[in-house]
Amino acid sequence: MRMRYKPWATKELDACPFFIRHPEQYLGKWHSLFPRSQPVELELGCGKGLFLAALAPANPQVNYIGVDLKDTVLGPAKRNLEAAYREAGREPDNIILTAMNIERIADSMGPEDTVQRIYINFCNPWPKKKHHKRRLTHPRQLENYKKILVPGGEIAFKTDDDDLFADTLEYLAESGFVVTEKTYDLRALNRPDDIPTEHELMFVERGIKIKALWAKLA
């Protein structure tokens, strides 16, 4: 989905205390950005941040990092998060948003920047074989995630795309992850802890079944 240019986004983000413009400057130091030393969870491709806006204010005992590429989505994510914390009557002290190309995550996050869980929600399926390496679940990326996941750390993945889901199951096995749960119809599970994302709601409305899996680093 192409996002419309938002002239306010860059200025607002650069003035935002929980936004990091140059993530590579925090290699090895992400934990120090949070006032409380506690588990960290990372969302890759957070889009307009509605998933994190539901999760982060409700879970002050966890620190969250949301990553996306462009200010056109990070600007709305910042506003959505601010509104959610306001509504919860809390300060946004357990959330960081950052502009990062996830294909280059190793430049910005290393073994000291441990995370307990990585969420990948509705990433680009890159259907052409020549583009598969760009998928956020490709083994090339999984090797980077392995460097920051704690032992027993988890990847939680959701997609509308059948081929990406099937290939991701193979990628995970190839990279030494163990799939602990999977479903080809997430809505049918009625999981109380499931938070639908913006893209998820769009696909559900079109009658497309949501595929999801949870995988642990053995």
Residues of this chain that interact with ligand SAM (CB under 6 A) are 45-47, 67-70, 73, 101-103, 121-124, 197-200
Our CB check for ligand SAM shows the closer of 36 and 191 to be: 191
Our CB check for ligand SAM shows the closer of 134 and 146 to be: 134
Query: What Cα–Cα distance (Å) separates residue 164 from each residue in 4, 133, 154?
Result: 27, 12, 19
Tokens matching residue 39? 């588990």
List, in sequence order, every beta strand (DSSP E) within 69-135: 95-99, 115-121
CA 156 to chain centroid: 9
Our CB check for ligand SAM shows the closer of 75 and 92 to be: 75
As measured in angstroms, the least distance from the Cβ of 74 to ligand SAM is 9
As measured in angstroms, the least distance from the Cβ of 36 to ligand SAM is 25
Tokens matching residue 193? 């802890």
As measured in angstroms, the least distance from the Cβ of 199 to ligand SAM is 3
| String of DSSP letters for 99-112 | E--GGGGGGT--TT
Our CB check for ligand SAM shows the closer of 47 and 153 to be: 47
As measured in angstroms, the least distance from the Cβ of 76 to ligand SAM is 10
Our CB check for ligand SAM shows the closer of 34 and 122 to be: 122
As measured in angstroms, the least distance from the Cβ of 151 to ligand SAM is 26
Alpha-helix runs per DSSP H in 43-197 = 50-55, 71-88, 139-148, 162-174, 186-189
User: What is the rounded CA–CA span in Å between residue 122 and residue 203?
Assistant: 10
Three-point CA angle 63, 113, 80, nearest 5°: 35
User: What is the rounded CA–CA span in Å between residue 98 and residue 53?
Assistant: 15
Our CB check for ligand SAM shows the closer of 57 and 125 to be: 125
As measured in angstroms, the least distance from the Cβ of 6 to ligand SAM is 13
CA 69 to chain centroid: 12
